[in-house]
């Protein structure tokens, strides 16, 4: 997919860093006119799906070639922060 970028962050459980990173990405791509943001994760007990859903991501029903579940964040409503 054109513009496809991957970022992996391992924090060791540090609270707030993941949310801050997603907020910044949303700000940067929103400034460029993006209307959606996708992420993916390995499906496993204790995985990050709850974190992403609390930020507003919803499962698309699709999986990437590595078997990770794909989630989508709708940005079409204009500037926003996932912390709102």
pLDDT value for 1: 47
pLDDT at 15 (0 to 100): 76
State the Cα angle at 84 between 7 and 4, rounded to 5°: 25
pLDDT recorded at residue 83 = 64
Cβ(51)–Cβ(18) below 8 Å: yes
pTM of the predicted structure, to 2 decimals:
0.79
**DSSP at 79:** S
Cα–Cα distance measured from residue 14 to residue 32, given in angstroms and rounded to the nearest whole number? 29
Walk along the chain (84 residues) in steps of 10 and give the mean pLDDT of each run: 61 75 90 91 89 93 94 84 64
């Amino acid at each position: 997919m054109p513009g496809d970028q991957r970022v992996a962050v391992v924090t060791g459980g540090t609270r707030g860093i993941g949310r801050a990173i997603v907020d910044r990405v949303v700000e940067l791509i929103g400034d460029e006119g993006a209307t959606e943001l996708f992420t993916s994760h390995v499906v496993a007990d204790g995985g990050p799906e709850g974190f992403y859903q609390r930020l507003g991501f919803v499962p698309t029903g699709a999986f990437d070639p590595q078997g990770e579940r794909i989630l989508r964040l709708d940005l079409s409503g204009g500037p926003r922060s996932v912390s709102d």
